[in-house]
Amino acid sequence: MMTFPCIQCGECCRHAGEVPQLATKVDTDGVCRYLDKRTNRCTIYDMRPKVCNVSYMYQTYFKAQMTEGEFIQKNLQVCCHLNRAAGKIANVERLETILEHFNP
């Protein structure tokens, strides 16, 4: 099993309101209420919703459709998009470097 190379930017948590399965977990601004905005860490990480667990989502829903590496690559591309939209260019460059060296 591969490990998702999370850069802990918190952008996925800042867009949790766009994920229907997380509707009950977000504040009025659409940000997950469990995101510690100071550290960009999940305050309930060990009990986080399954939709937030890349490995679980791959094993449960996507294993028959693509390799785990391809799934991680697609998730990294979403991270890149979210950071670009937020204007976090240093994070985009870091993610692009990870993607360049990532071999699914």
User: What is the pLDDT, as a whole number, of residue 42?
Assistant: 98
User: What is the pLDDT, as a whole number, of residue 97?
Assistant: 97
Average pLDDT per run of 10 along the chain, which is 104 residues long? 95 98 97 97 98 98 97 98 98 97 79
Residues 16 and 26 in one domain: yes
Residues 66 and 86 in one domain: yes
User: What range does the domain containing 88 cover?
Assistant: 54-104
Backbone phi, psi, residue 64, to 5°: -75, -15
The pTM of this model reads 0.92
Residue 86 maps to a domain: yes
User: What is the pLDDT, as a whole number, of residue 93?
Assistant: 98
User: What is the pLDDT, as a whole number, of residue 20?
Assistant: 96
What is the number of structural domains in the chain? 2
List, in order, residues 6 or more apart from 44 with CB less than 8 Å away.
34
Residues 48 and 67 in one domain: no
User: What is the pLDDT, as a whole number, of residue 1?
Assistant: 84
User: What is the pLDDT, as a whole number, of residue 9?
Assistant: 97
Residues 65 and 100 in one domain: yes
Residue 17 maps to a domain: yes
Residues 42 and 70 in one domain: no
List, in order, residues 6 or more apart from 6 with CB less than 8 Å away.
none
Give 47: exposed, middle or buried? Use CB within 10 Å, 0-12, 13-18, 19+.
exposed
Residue 1 maps to a domain: no
C-beta separation of 57 from 50 below 8 A: yes
User: What is the pLDDT, as a whole number, of residue 102?
Assistant: 82
